[in-house]
Structure 1
Amino acid sequence: MSSVTLPDYDVLAAELRALESGLEPSELHGSLCGWIAGGGRHDDAGWFAAVMSDPQLAPPESGSALEQLHVASALQLESPDFGFELLLPPDDRPMPERGDALIAWGRGFLGGFGLAAGREPPLSEDAGEALADLARLAANDLSYEDTEGDEEALAEISEFVRVAVMLVHSDCVLGPRHRRRLN
């Protein structure tokens, strides 16, 4: 995995509560990753205002969990070792909390991606299918009836989302960047 780490889930949750953002860490991380994967500028201090669609928001403070989230997310998505991770509640949290956070992550991703990529992003057929699958996943409500099976399903779905995000990022950001270098 990447040596760049995401902030602690609970520390970021506390920062978001203090800002009265109304978002949970997973949803914000999904939004940020969608914004980056869609080609949104992530190299400036205005990322938070852009992702939150509120130009009046101040940039996160230096050294904050928000800043760590931004830096780690951008670096993980660019990582050649596929070190990208989803920010979800820790494994010791109840399954419904973790499952609902994964759904919120997906919804956040779709919103951030739409903001940055626009109506017709440059997606391959595989990435387009992955994005459509993410949309179907984000539109669902999960049921939690089989504890052991639910753990396995959550792990599989999380891995699918992780790979789908890297594929979409590759098509929309890495591919165009590579083509510009060749020309």
Structure 2
Amino acid sequence: MTASRISHRDLADTLVRLRAGVSASDLHGSLTGFLCAGGKTTADAWPSALELDAGHAGELLDDAFPRLYRHCREQLDDSDLGFEPLLPADDVGLAERAEALVEWCRGFLGGVGLASAGQAQGELSAEVREIVQDFSTIAASSFDYDDDEEDETALNEVLEFVRVGVLLLYSELAPVPVRARSTAPASRRLH
């Protein structure tokens, strides 16, 4: 069953209501980075695993959080490579969408850091280290806007780079996808 997708706006509204002190893009990036780096958690426990500081602990069970987790996990495990960072809709201004992508990358790096605490950087392949470095560059970026059409194209190119980078990192760093483990036929071989 496919998880019902939560919109950026709905998640942002939930985070404001919970006084969580984090943006929707940052939070989705954090969860994605945590899962990509092999972080272990569940749909109900991930806010604690990511050390999310929400206003009222009882409200962490808000339906938005398990939905976000299930959707993120499904997208990462999607054999059609359908992962997309959770960002504002296309009808939102270019500057706001670009800033959300910067926040998403910051969150992603934080999530990777939480999941891989204690893992030596030398254990990562050169390709993974390069992608992480590129995400760091994006996370530290400040964009200038001169031409809406060119800037829109540039944002889409950066977004596609991030999307593919996430999938590459996930394929190298994360354990076998949940779906592959749960649907794999049992071996008939006897030892």
Shorter-chain TM range is 0.7 to 0.9
How many angstroms does 1:58 deviate by? 4.6
How many angstroms does 1:32 deviate by? 0.5
Write the distance in 1 (CA, Å) between the matches of 2:77 and 2:84. Answer: 12
Equivalence for 2:47: 48
Equivalence for 2:187: none
Write the distance in 2 (CA, Å) between the matches of 1:176 and 1:125. Answer: 23
Write the distance in 1 (CA, Å) between the matches of 2:21 and 2:3. Answer: 26
Structure 2 unmatched runs, 5+: 181-191
**Deviation larger for 47-56 or 157-166:** 47-56
Equivalence for 2:161: 160
Structure 1 unmatched runs, 5+: 179-183
- Map Cα deviations across residues 70-94 of structure 1 (whole Å, 9 max, x no partner): 1100111111110111100000111
Write the distance in 2 (CA, Å) between the matches of 1:84 and 1:4. Answer: 13
Change (3 A) 1:12 1:172: same
| Structure-to-structure mapping, 1:70-85, within 5 angstroms | 70-85=69-84
Instruction: Confirm whether residue 111 of structure 1 aligns to residue 95 of structure 2.
Output: no
User: How much identity, in percent, do the aligned residues show?
Assistant: 38
How many angstroms does 1:54 deviate by? 5.1
Equivalence for 1:125: 126
Write the distance in 1 (CA, Å) between the matches of 2:85 and 2:112. Answer: 15
- Map Cα deviations across residues 3-31 of structure 1 (whole Å, 9 max, x no partner): 65531111111110011011111110000
Write the distance in 2 (CA, Å) between the matches of 1:95 and 1:44. Answer: 32
Coordinate RMSD, CA, aligned: 2.5
Write the distance in 2 (CA, Å) between the matches of 1:114 and 1:57. Answer: 24
Q: Structure 1 length as normaliser, TM-score?
A: 0.86
Aligned AA (2:148): T
Write the distance in 1 (CA, Å) between the matches of 2:53 and 2:94. Answer: 33
Equivalence for 2:148: 147
How many angstroms does 1:141 deviate by? 0.9
Q: Structure 2 length as normaliser, TM-score?
A: 0.82
- Map Cα deviations across residues 72-122 of structure 1 (whole Å, 9 max, x no partner): 001111111101111000001111100000000000000011010124254
How many angstroms does 1:59 deviate by? 7.1
Question: Residues 75 and 81 of structure 2 are in contact (CA less than 8 Å); yes or no, is this contact kept in structure 1?
Answer: yes
Write the distance in 1 (CA, Å) between the matches of 2:75 and 2:40. Answer: 15
